[in-house]
Structure 1
Amino acid sequence: MKRKTRALLRTITSWIMVSLMLQFAFYYFLNYKVEGIMAPVNAQPIVVKSLETEIPGTNLENLQLSYGKDYLAYQENGVLKVYNLQQEKVVFEKSPQGESEYDMGPIYYQWLPDRDTLVYFYARRNPNPTTTVVVPVEEEPTEQGSSGSNNTADPDAVEDPNQAPPVKKTPKTRTEVRYNNPQITEVYTLELPPSDEEETAPDDRYNRSIDSFPAGGQIKQMVVSTFTNLLYLAIENNGKFQLMEIDIMKNVRTLNQAGEVITQMAASDKFGTLYAKSTSGKSERIIGLQGWNREVVSDDADDVILGNREGMLYLGNIKDGKLVNIRSGEENSEEKSLKFKTVWEGSIPYDDAKDVIIGANGEIIVYNDLTAYIIKEGSDKEVKLDGEENYISSDGVEVIQVTRVGMSTKVKLHPLQ
């Protein structure tokens, strides 16, 4: 009997061990798949070897190349336009609706970093800048009503059927004026189809209105966290600054403190942290924000944010208008503070920089309309740019060369290196 019991126990124990091993193997496989889905996709950059097109008009401004490098967004005389580079035609236009000072139309636009989708903000006059509401007025009790003796009814009294019913008093009310925001600011996403599809129109999708957006405010910078799908706006209005966080599907929050000015931003694509250059009074520093939580990243007033890519934050140090030092800090979920190391030292012009790009191949590109300075693996090189104006794609691979000829604008795409 004891032998049978022992054999049964050994069998049960063996099956339990096998079951646990299978469960661990399954959970490991499932976790591996989930990480593959949730982690940002580090796709290889798309390279356009050579492309030239001629766009009607000479007042093209703020040219931006889409993720797939097949659409070009720009503004012409206040009208937002999207140009299909493959079909060589404008496929979308959005213009102001009226002539009021608040009918500004498209006030800002930017391509998402991982798809052919354009986010843009549209401002128009509020047709109901003032509204009225009726509110009740509380009446003060009279002496008779407040004494209580005349209002006490005898519970045993018999109701007289001939007595008229008590007259109900209509409550007093008053009308109040509500002053609303004179400007309505709306967020749209424009989803573009594959550039070779002629039958499919762009999907212009209204997302939400931002009631707290200041009338006449200017968006100085927008960054997108692909990890959290949050938008961050640095807004300036009559010398006042506002840092706004937008969840397209949920709410809008203001994150800056009273009197705080935000001049630079970068969003982590790994953990969703927002890094910002903050100035408050005499204090000037770089901070990291996770919701309402704040951490000081650098308290050196000469440090600037160059960008963030693949979980790496890049800071530059500026002396006398020159970029002289670059440090990088790798984000880690287990440590709150970033540990920086110097990746480059030298001297390149920075004050007249048009933009700074953190390239897909780990290079740091500082450029203006004439020259691009490319920093990689501790060394730097200078690349001369042709054309009247030059833009570099967000992955640092492509140059958009702009030259105005007659009544049109020639646009040429070619690799930076």
Structure 2
Amino acid sequence: MKKKLRMIVSWTLVSLMLQIPTYYLLNRQIEKVMTPPETQVVVRTLKTNIPGKSFENMQISYAKDYIAYEDDGVLKVYNLEQEKQIFSKAAPGNDKNLGVLYFQWLPDRNTLIYFYARKNPNPVTTEVVPVDPTPNSQSTTSESSGTQNTARTQSNPSTQATNSNTIKTEDPHQASTVPTKPAQQQRVVTRYNNPQITDLYTLELPESSDTTTQPDDRFNESINSFPTGGKITNMVVSTFTNLMYLTIKSGTNLQLMEIDVMKNVRNLNRSAEVITETAASDKFGTLYIESKIGKLKTIQALEGSKRQTISDDEKETILGNREGTLYLGKIEGNNLVQIRAAAENADSAKLEFKTVWEGSIPFENSKVIIGINKQIVIYSNQIANIIQSDGQQKQVNLSGKENFISQDGAELVELTPNGNTTDIELKPLE
């Protein structure tokens, strides 16, 4: 008995010794998945020169080794390390109203998303469809036939009597009579389709030092509900849910469109609603919108089909979202005078805002970036105002003819025309 007990205790201890390290390793792996490592800030210092001088919407990639821009209606991607253009895409037939409508780098990888418009080769189609007989005509025919048979039977009593006393016989070798079906009626249906087809592409780029691998220009889907002639004014991506949100302007109409990884498309804006600003949470996937219906302006949080108003101050605007913190700015007389911030909480949908900065910065025609270190960058073409996470403010003069700042707020790109080319200088934003 003692020997058996010692054996049980020994095997129990061995089992525990094996299980404890296993559970420890599993717990570490789960922690890595649930709490991914902080994104490393990538900065680069270089000077180069590229052909051309009339660039629009120039953007730098996540790793600061590619730039994408529009040159005379053509999307181009330039490899800064190899100093050469590695991709271009023009409008079909050089139609300036078609081609690349919008492009944007993903915030965490060297992948460019772009939307490409082309003419629908079949704007009008026809289809021959069968015409189902109407129930009224069938019932009328049946009732008419039944009435006639009844009338004949009632009008000939002898026949009725004979029929009741006659035994029916059938010749088994006689072919049965099959009633002939009436010919199926058909009609032609004309369908008027969207005259514009808008395709979604992802351009995946290799390491900038790779001289053999070509960019992967991948077609994703066609968006049939994209309005003809519509312009994308803004796009935000939730890295948590992999959802894309587009603000599309078509004439006087504004549309908020959601696209998920399963290629499902749905419209989120309400009737007569104008969406002026959007921001997507990278921690919980919540979409924040600046909504205006008539004279009523609010800032709302969208979770699926649910909405919650988080600000009804008409002077406040959305500045952005970074690492689960939402930033709102108060505008008075075209100046930014206050910034409030609220950390998102998984346990409560309510946001608790606190003031993180007060002052006065010109805001008209300015761009806003929430940096990777939670610094807030407000910049125009020649001046950048940087508000650090502790509320301290500094100003940086931008010396290029044109200037822009990377999505993470770490890199400054200065452009200076030089004849038929453009000098480009990259340096940390300090």
In the superposition, relative to structure 1, how do residues 299 and 151 fare at CA in structure 2: closer, same or farther (>3 Å)?
farther
Deviations 1:359-380 (A, max 9, x none): 1122100001010001111121
Paired with 1:55 and 1:151, the residues of 2 have a C-alpha distance of 93
Unmatched 5+ stretches in structure 2: 151-162
What secondary structure is seen at the aligned counterpart in 1 of 2:142? helix
Q: Which residue of 1 aligns with 2:362?
A: 349
Give the fraction of aligned pairs with identical amino acids, expressed as a percent. Answer: 53
Q: Which residue of 1 aligns with 2:341?
A: 328
Alignment of 1:224-263 (within 5 A): 224-263=237-276
Paired with 1:180 and 1:27, the residues of 2 have a C-alpha distance of 58
What secondary structure is seen at the aligned counterpart in 2 of 1:356? strand
Is it true that 1:123 corresponds to 2:135 in the alignment? no
In the superposition, relative to structure 1, how do residues 148 and 306 fare at CA in structure 2: closer, same or farther (>3 Å)?
same
Residue type matched to 2:123 in 1? P
Q: Which residue of 1 aligns with 2:42?
A: 46
In the superposition, relative to structure 1, how do residues 17 and 151 fare at CA in structure 2: closer, same or farther (>3 Å)?
farther
Q: Which residue of 1 aligns with 2:73?
A: 78
Deviations 1:333-382 (A, max 9, x none): 001111111111100000120x1111112210000101000111112111
Q: CA deviation at 1:16?
A: 8.3
Alignment of 1:208-357 (within 5 A): 208-353=221-366, 355-357=367-369
- Whether the 8 Å CA contact 1:307–1:313 is kept in 2: the answer is yes
More helix by share: 2
Paired with 1:97 and 1:193, the residues of 2 have a C-alpha distance of 26
What secondary structure is seen at the aligned counterpart in 2 of 1:232? strand
Paired with 2:18 and 2:338, the residues of 1 have a C-alpha distance of 52
Deviations 1:270-305 (A, max 9, x none): 111111111112221111111112111211111111
In the superposition, relative to structure 1, how do residues 16 and 339 fare at CA in structure 2: closer, same or farther (>3 Å)?
farther
Q: CA deviation at 1:383?
A: 0.9
What secondary structure is seen at the aligned counterpart in 2 of 1:33? helix
Q: Which residue of 1 aligns with 2:217?
A: 204
Q: CA deviation at 1:255?
A: 1.1
Paired with 1:71 and 1:370, the residues of 2 have a C-alpha distance of 23
Is it true that 1:87 corresponds to 2:82 in the alignment? yes
Residue type matched to 1:415 in 2? P
Deviations 1:232-272 (A, max 9, x none): 11111111111111113331111111111111111111111
In the superposition, relative to structure 1, how do residues 254 and 312 fare at CA in structure 2: closer, same or farther (>3 Å)?
same
Please say which of residues 276-285 and 364-373 is displaced more in the overlay. 276-285
Q: CA deviation at 1:39?
A: 3.7
Paired with 1:404 and 1:151, the residues of 2 have a C-alpha distance of 96
- Whether the 8 Å CA contact 1:184–1:209 is kept in 2: the answer is yes
Paired with 1:25 and 1:304, the residues of 2 have a C-alpha distance of 51
Computed over aligned residues only, the root mean square deviation of the Cα atoms, in angstroms, reads 2.7
- Whether the 8 Å CA contact 1:47–1:398 is kept in 2: the answer is yes
Deviations 1:210-247 (A, max 9, x none): 11111111111001111111111111111111111111
Q: CA deviation at 1:74?
A: 0.1
- Whether the 8 Å CA contact 2:221–2:263 is kept in 1: the answer is no
Paired with 1:92 and 1:144, the residues of 2 have a C-alpha distance of 69
What secondary structure is seen at the aligned counterpart in 2 of 1:141? helix
Q: Which residue of 1 aligns with 2:29?
A: 33
TM-score of the superposition, structure 1-length normalised?
Answer: 0.90
Q: Which residue of 1 aligns with 2:158?
A: none
Q: Among 56, 59, 78, which residue is 1:61 paired with?
A: 56
- Whether the 8 Å CA contact 1:137–1:174 is kept in 2: the answer is yes
Paired with 2:9 and 2:307, the residues of 1 have a C-alpha distance of 51
In the superposition, relative to structure 1, how do residues 315 and 165 fare at CA in structure 2: closer, same or farther (>3 Å)?
same
Unmatched 5+ stretches in structure 1: none
- Whether the 8 Å CA contact 2:292–2:298 is kept in 1: the answer is yes
Please say which of residues 220-229 and 27-36 is displaced more in the overlay. 27-36
Paired with 2:178 and 2:246, the residues of 1 have a C-alpha distance of 63
Paired with 2:149 and 2:323, the residues of 1 have a C-alpha distance of 77
Please say which of residues 340-349 and 292-301 is displaced more in the overlay. 292-301
Is it true that 1:385 corresponds to 2:385 in the alignment? no
Q: Among 353, 364, 371, which residue is 2:383 paired with?
A: 371
In the superposition, relative to structure 1, how do residues 144 and 291 fare at CA in structure 2: closer, same or farther (>3 Å)?
closer
Residue type matched to 1:108 in 2? Y
- Whether the 8 Å CA contact 2:62–2:108 is kept in 1: the answer is yes
Equivalenced residues, count: 408
Q: CA deviation at 1:167?
A: 2.2
Paired with 1:98 and 1:319, the residues of 2 have a C-alpha distance of 47
Please say which of residues 155-164 and 263-272 is displaced more in the overlay. 155-164
In the superposition, relative to structure 1, how do residues 337 and 15 fare at CA in structure 2: closer, same or farther (>3 Å)?
farther
Deviations 1:174-209 (A, max 9, x none): 011111111111110000101011111101001111
In the superposition, relative to structure 1, how do residues 219 and 151 fare at CA in structure 2: closer, same or farther (>3 Å)?
farther
Q: Among 131, 137, 148, which residue is 2:131 paired with?
A: 137
Deviations 1:36-70 (A, max 9, x none): 22445422211113x11111111111100000000
- Whether the 8 Å CA contact 1:40–1:269 is kept in 2: the answer is no
Paired with 2:209 and 2:128, the residues of 1 have a C-alpha distance of 57
In the superposition, relative to structure 1, how do residues 162 and 115 fare at CA in structure 2: closer, same or farther (>3 Å)?
closer
